A and B are shown apart, each in its own frame.
Chain A
């Protein structure tokens, strides 16, 4: 079983020189870095060639949002599997989930597994209807759908702004994930901070360039490489590392020991191997709330709308769980790192849990394979960052620029604006990460998850019924946003004293701690329901719905499945 890894006997295993000294300075991990650079170049080449994939020569410039922002709406099951896998399982996921396991154990880390289990039945139910109505009307964004279903612009603008604001920190965090890999490779330790940041800047410039030319096709193709690499890395890690470190029993024993040790700053155990009864509600609400929120994110919906048939997303819901298995084992690598004694020391000499898995890979594998595994994580930042920036820019172009500024914009101009905005979005994320404290990005992402969940009532109810009143939904959304933000702010980390210390808090008036997003969602739904009942009782008029019930059922063979031609668009309210 170890024969494959025994082959390159001439290449040494990671030497102690790759481990940082007490000050956090480390030498460059040459072998691994070469492999990372090579794989990055391969991926960049694929990205630049992507604009030619499945396009005729007239289409090659990708001159409409459908072509640039949705890849021509033609992705089949296999491409979708790779695209969504690359989109949903991001570099930040790969870095943060094991980090949470390493630091505090099951509740904050392993909820990612039931989250990504419960996610797919939800997707299975909801997304086909969204696909059908979006194909019927040429919707590119979730806010397009909300605008069409409920009429007017207020609610759709609220949804669009929520989507943009929730996506931006997520892009920034992909950079954080990439930075973890670059730090472990030794590229962050120099004295010149510009030189330290240069690899990240180069990577992002290349990403921005091929996303500009290739649109969604670029991350779709790159996702194939990324996903194959990450599966390879995890399969090898899960087979090789437990036997190297004494078997799962011994690994869990070490984890249990570390997590039950009292943390001097808080006076409580550092974490838990198995959640205690007081954590049950936090665990399942984190899983459920995150699952409900994930497909409200614009980048997930972009992945769905780019598929070529109504059932593609349903078929994928059956097989995407394989990624969840991969994520579960990745989470357990956090415990393996505890047993292995991995020291995730950052360039400032402090412990940074996010470096745990990259450091574990570098310590435990021959340098060439460590390079493959680290490249998988780093490339794992490029795919979602591209899709997220495309989704955010589609939202801006359709639901801010077209809806609010210039309603008669042509498809060609839409594509141009989207391309430009996606560049700006990426630059903004880069500046944010390089200039600000990493914790700001993490806090915003925490809030972003709570915020995007508040779009669930408007979107999901809208897929099934027009019963809810648009204004009631708007007020519900606002209530959820306000409560969620304040509650998250009020969570203070006992060790550091900082706000936004976590995402769980007691339901007001009770002792039950749950995920803030879920409490906010319940508040949102209740307010929307009560508001609708009140407004209906007063017979307040609600605006028109430009969808028909059969729109939600059309598939790719139905004649009516054409994007709305430009001359008709002006007539739609």
Chain B
């Protein structure tokens, strides 16, 4: 989308970043793919009802249908914990790349090399193609 005019929401009060300056460096696909798989498992598996719509094996008197789903509460929390850790580490690394290159002054320039945000990450982070 052509943008000949500076964006109206560019901060005028000495902000260092032009609106299209990347805030983090290129993504490595690995952590995002792994996190994406974990999150997808966390969404799909609890919904495959035929796996667990049964009575046996019982646990403490509870039919399988019930205790299995309660177990998935913990499993999903665990999956999200791992996904969060993976993404957080990668996210920090990417932001450090850009912040180190920018330095600390309010008038510093964007990094000299094209730090184009890499769109190869999966839909969990940047699918921001227009």
Binding site for B on A (CB under 8 A): 106, 110, 113-114, 117-118, 120-122, 124-125, 136-137, 247-252, 273-277, 280, 283-284, 287-288, 311, 314-315, 317-319, 321-322, 324-325, 328-329, 332, 464-467, 544-546, 548-555, 557-560, 562, 564-565, 568, 571-572
* CA–CA, A542 and B114, complex, Å: 30
Pair B39/A124 contact, Cβ less than 8 Å: yes
Residues of A within 8 A of B69 (CB): 110, 113-114, 117, 328
Pair B80/A550 contact, Cβ less than 8 Å: no
Contact of B77 among A252, A318, A571 (CB under 8 A): A318
- Is B100 interfacial (CB-CB < 8 Å)? no
Pair B77/A554 contact, Cβ less than 8 Å: no
Pair A325/B70 contact, Cβ less than 8 Å: yes
Q: How many residues of B contact A (CB 8 A)?
A: 60
Contact of B55 among A113, A274, A554, A572 (CB under 8 A): A274
Given the known inter-chain contacts A275-B53, A550-B19, please indicate yes or no for A248 contacting B8, CB distance below 8 A: no
Given the known inter-chain contacts A248-B62, A251-B61, A252-B61, please indicate yes or no for A550 contacting B70, CB distance below 8 A: no
Given the known inter-chain contacts A248-B61, A549-B117, please indicate yes or no for A560 contacting B126, CB distance below 8 A: no
A448 → chain B closest CB, angstroms: 23
Residues of B within 8 A of A565 (CB): 12-13
Pair B61/A564 contact, Cβ less than 8 Å: no
Contact of B63 among A125, A247, A274, A571 (CB under 8 A): A274
Contact of B43 among A122, A273, A317 (CB under 8 A): A122
Pair B23/A118 contact, Cβ less than 8 Å: no
Pair A124/B70 contact, Cβ less than 8 Å: no
Residues of A within 8 A of B53 (CB): 274-277, 280, 283
* CA–CA, A280 and B65, complex, Å: 12
Pair B63/A252 contact, Cβ less than 8 Å: yes
Contact of A464 among B13, B16, B76, B123 (CB under 8 A): B123
10 pairs from A and B in contact (CB 8 Å cutoff):
A117-B42, A124-B39, A277-B50, A284-B49, A328-B70, A548-B19, A548-B20, A550-B21, A568-B9, A568-B12
Pair A464/B127 contact, Cβ less than 8 Å: yes
* CA–CA, A318 and B38, complex, Å: 13
Residues of A within 8 A of B95 (CB): 555, 557
Given the known inter-chain contacts A117-B69, A560-B15, please indicate yes or no for A553 contacting B1, CB distance below 8 A: no
- Bitwise, B27-50 to A at CB < 8 A (1) or not (0) is 000000000000110110011111
Pair A248/B76 contact, Cβ less than 8 Å: no
- Is B103 interfacial (CB-CB < 8 Å)? no
Given the known inter-chain contacts A117-B69, A280-B53, A284-B49, please indicate yes or no for A550 contacting B117, CB distance below 8 A: yes
B101 → chain A closest CB, angstroms: 14
Interface SS of chain A: helix
Pair count A-B, CB < 8 A? 179
* CA–CA, A557 and B58, complex, Å: 51
* CA–CA, A230 and B21, complex, Å: 47
Given the known inter-chain contacts A106-B65, A248-B60, please indicate yes or no for A287 contacting B8, CB distance below 8 A: no
Given the known inter-chain contacts A137-B9, A252-B61, A549-B128, please indicate yes or no for A110 contacting B66, CB distance below 8 A: yes
Pair A114/B47 contact, Cβ less than 8 Å: yes
Given the known inter-chain contacts A280-B49, A549-B128, A552-B128, please indicate yes or no for A121 contacting B8, CB distance below 8 A: no
Pair B73/A328 contact, Cβ less than 8 Å: yes
Residues of B within 8 A of A467 (CB): 129-130
* CA–CA, A75 and B77, complex, Å: 22
Pair A118/B9 contact, Cβ less than 8 Å: no
Given the known inter-chain contacts A106-B65, A252-B62, A559-B15, please indicate yes or no for A321 contacting B46, CB distance below 8 A: no
* CA–CA, A33 and B11, complex, Å: 56
B80 → chain A closest CB, angstroms: 5
